[in-house]
Structure 1
């Protein structure tokens, strides 16, 4: 996350859920991504750039009380909102870690997860509307890769300019991304397409929301 983005999310953390256009626009992408991932009961899921925990309810329905959700975010204020969300619902299987996804040492984060009752490496990893906020986002993707085990289910949800009949909405989409500090031209799902197998693609809201899921192979292809 860039410095300006981090400051913005720190300031607006208490109001983020109200200002995020979750219900009319961005919730559709979350649902599409999590429905596409093969999340099983008992899984541990790492949610990189978890923010206020908007993915948690959808994930809880799938991992169940025997699973674990690991939320990682740079902003202490966003994590505080995520912690309140978990507390309100009685989700005691949520582990929250404060770390910058672009600079964190994954071995240390894994130790924190284990110390908090988790399992170190996760079977599922996802980043929703997060990588396009980060600079360099490729480093954050690499760290998500390192926090998941071989054969993990990986998912990326992010934004691009609307296409087709929705193309005239591009100025509005660019404004929304700029307001949130995201780079609408980043297209971070291309890393998943490059590195994973069994890649599946989906989109929503006129192509503005791009979903990619795939399986992590034992070694990155081409490496």
Structure 2
């Protein structure tokens, strides 16, 4: 089932049924911490869902920054819109679009974003490699790209594997996609973190500022 169809009926209740606070919020917190955002930064949130990243991002970028939030589901975007309106955030732009096929109509696409993040979204997409390539392409040189996604738990946490697989199945995610792997060669200064028995994988890297071995991260 396409993502837009899967979340059409559950969007209003997603925050309650997604195990956000006991499990998945930890990945968002870790990623946004590693991104080292600053006031005034312009951030692209790919597969934003109901806007669960918004409060964490707003704490870093402040009112002088902006969030461009993209999702293919109109129902999820409606919940994100309500979240932004309730909090009084006027610096959030919502875009209904396929993340693997963004075009120049998306605000700030041409000039480049200071940072791009995707949390628990790439593994939902059939063409996630293209979406990841787009994330890198629309980030300015030296800017940060962050991916948070899921894999099977390891070590003693393997006992929880059936529950992790069930959660991914119900949500439509491919637990074996591992969309963070290509970041290791596409970006520089890649920071790695894992939480919840390595079920949640976090990668944050910088877009190279040039194409030679002497490239800096531009931080």
- Which interval holds the TM-score relative to the shorter structure? over 0.9
- Matched with 1:193 is 184
Structure 1 residues 217, 75: CA separation in 2 closer, same or farther (over 3 Å shift)?
same
Q: How many residues are paired up?
A: 213
- Matched with 2:64 is 66
Aligned-pair distance for 1:108? Answer: 2.8
Q: Is the 8 A contact 2:3 2:72 kept in 1?
A: no
**Moved runs in structure 1, 4+ residues, more than 6 A?**
none
In structure 1, C-alpha distance between the alignment counterparts of 2:117 and 2:16, rounded to whole Å: 23
- Matched with 1:149 is 140
Q: Is the 8 A contact 1:196 1:220 kept in 2?
A: no
What TM-score does the superposition give when structure 1 sets the normalisation length?
Answer: 0.91
More helix by share: 1
SS in structure 2 opposite 1:143?
A: helix
Aligned-pair distance for 1:176? Answer: 0.4
Aligned-pair distance for 1:169? Answer: 1.0
Alignment of 1:70-149 (within 5 A): 70-105=68-103, 107-109=104-106, 113-114=107-108, 120-149=111-140
Give structure 2 stretches of 5+ with no counterpart.
214-219
Cα distance per residue 1:166-195 (max 9 Å; x no partner)? 012111101100000000000000121120
Alignment of 1:163-174 (within 5 A): 163-174=154-165
Task: State the Cα RMSD in Å.
Answer: 1.7
Give structure 1 stretches of 5+ with no counterpart.
none
